[in-house]
Amino acid sequence: MHHATARLALGRILAGSGFGDTTTGLVLACRLHDDQGCPEDLRRGILERCLAAPPDEAPPYAHPLNQQPIPEDERALASQLLPALIAHPANQAKNTTALWCLVELWPHCGADERPLLRTRLLNGIAAQREDEASFITTFQLRDWQKRVPTHYGTLTPSMASLRGILDAETPLAAYLLFAEHLGMEVDLQTLCWVLGSLTVHLQHELHDLRGELAALLLGTAACERLVPLVPSEGMVTVLSQLAHRLWWLARHAHLRPIRKSLDQTQRPFTSAVATGDITLAQRAARTLASQQGHLFWGQAWSAVEQWMPKDRTVLLRLLSVLDSARWRAHDDAISVDDVSAIAALLAEMAWWRQQRP
């Protein structure tokens, strides 16, 4: 992250008392601002919009960590704050993203700013309020762990082995399936990636009007980036909490299914997005990515510029999905599933813009 851009974001964050959606949007905008593949006018416009958003506010929260020494580097910061996230799991996806955002900003903070930012993060995670069924506490996890058979923990994380989480009848059944992948040699980064891919799968099928799936996807990417910085046992707990939220969003969040279009035509990507037809746009994106992958981002940025959302919630969804896809790309080759998720969101943006110009 460029230092001058980060300093602009820090000024806005410190104007508030919390650490939430505005902060996340600012960090994502700063990261995008450094992407030379994105048109300069678009990068600057997104950053200006994020800087204009009201700063995050949250009630003061008296936490013992506020009295602890200030960590000197990102590893110490992440290790110090991870237990606080685990203890406040109301929206672990957003909380983990908040910690990653602070890690990104840490090298750009002055010594006098660091305790203020840590306090704002603690205020923010303590202020989260969600349906109690949508998250699990450490007490619930300890109870469930007693029910895990001793032979569990032998599976390697993969889409095939973890997809059953989406269809599990109960939260315990979903956890037991997840626990089969938590052996002594668990690959935590692969586990993060697979949870993200399952979230992308839901984005293909369900409307995400409140941005819950986008937040979960960004949370899995944040976890993957935090894995090298934190103790593995803490990350296992966080990922168990994220897996539960994935199950809950799939089964109980009442996300409306995306209706499949009957239009079987094949159109260029930007033209397909402009129709507002999600199925058409997804098909075009997959074709473009598989046949001419090097052209995808240029056309995606063009569509973003054309259909830029006015609503800040939708803008955060967009930045979350784009940043996650760029992180998840392997050797700069974005997966067809991720381009399909981007296409679905862009087509939805085009449809709303045409319905409510």
Mean pLDDT of 329-352: 92
pLDDT band at 354 (very low <50, low <70, confident <90, very high): confident
The answer as to whether 261 is a domain residue is no
Q: Is 288 part of any domain?
A: yes
Residue 8 lies in a domain: yes
Same domain for 150 and 238, yes or no, is: yes
Read off the pLDDT of each residue in 211-235 and give the average, rounded to a whole number: 97
Highest mean pLDDT among 27-36, 95-104, 140-149, 327-336: 95-104
Boundary of a domain, candidates 126, 143, 168: 126
Report the number of distinct structural domains present in the chain: 3
Residues 33 and 114 in one domain: yes
* Last-in-domain residue among 126, 155, 174: 126
Claim to verify: residue 185 and residue 277 sit in the same structural domain: no
Task: Say if 263 falls within a structural domain.
Answer: no
d(CA 93, CA 221): 10
Return the percentage of the chain with pLDDT > 90, whole number: 84
Give the pLDDT confidence score for residue 90 in this predicted structure: 92
In this prediction, residue 357 carries a pLDDT of 61
Same domain, 104 and 183: no
The confidence score (pLDDT) of residue 63 equals: 80
95-151 pLDDT tens trace: 999 999 999 999 999 999 999 999 999 999 999 989 999 999 999 999 998 888 777
Average pLDDT over every residue of 209-226: 97
Tell the burial category of 287 from Cβ atoms under 10 Å away from its Cβ (0-12, 13-18, 19+). Answer: middle
Do 242 and 319 share a domain, yes or no?
no
75 to each of 10, 277, 340, how far by Cα in Å? 20, 44, 34
Q: Return the number of other C-beta atoms located less than 10 Å from residue 154's C-beta.
A: 11
Question: Lowest-confidence range among 28-42, 88-102, 202-216, 321-335?
Answer: 321-335
User: Is residue 96 one of the residues assigned to a domain?
Assistant: yes
CA 103 vs CA 31, 80, 89, 133, 172: distances in Å: 13, 12, 19, 29, 33
Are 207 and 244 in a shared domain?
yes
Shared domain check, 344 and 308: yes
Q: Which of 12-26, 99-113, 181-195, 211-225 has the lowest mean pLDDT?
A: 181-195
Same domain, 9 and 122: yes
Flag whether 340 is in a domain: yes
**Residues 57, 170 within the same domain:** no
Q: Which are the contacts of 320, defined by CB distance < 8 A and separation ≥ 6?
A: 24, 28, 211, 214, 215, 217, 218
Any idea which residue has 């110490």 for tokens? 76
The parent domain of residue 275 ranges over: 269-355
Residue 127 host element (H or E):
none
Query: pTM for the complete prediction?
Result: 0.96
Q: Which stretch of 66-80, 151-165, 188-202 has the lowest confidence by average pLDDT? A: 151-165
- Of the candidate ranges 40-54, 65-79, 320-334, the one whose mean pLDDT is the lowest: 320-334
Residues 164 and 79 in one domain: no
Q: Which residues pair with 330 in a beta bridge?
A: 333
- Specify whether the CB–CB gap between 78 and 229 falls below 8 A: yes
Both 7 and 122 in a single domain?
yes
Distance (Å, whole) CA 273 – CA 84? 42
Mean pLDDT to the nearest integer, 170-177: 95
**Domain termination residue (choose one: 80, 96, 126):** 126
Q: Contact 328/62 with Cβ under 8 angstroms?
A: no
**Using one digit for the tens of pLDDT, what is the confidence trace for 234-291?**
999 999 999 999 999 999 999 999 999 888 888 999 999 999 999 999 999 999 999 9
Mean pLDDT taken over the chain = 94
Task: State whether 108 and 175 are in the same domain.
Answer: no
274 belongs to a structural domain: yes
258 domain-assigned: no
Q: Are 58 and 164 in contact (CB under 8 A)?
A: no
87: amino acid identity, one letter: A
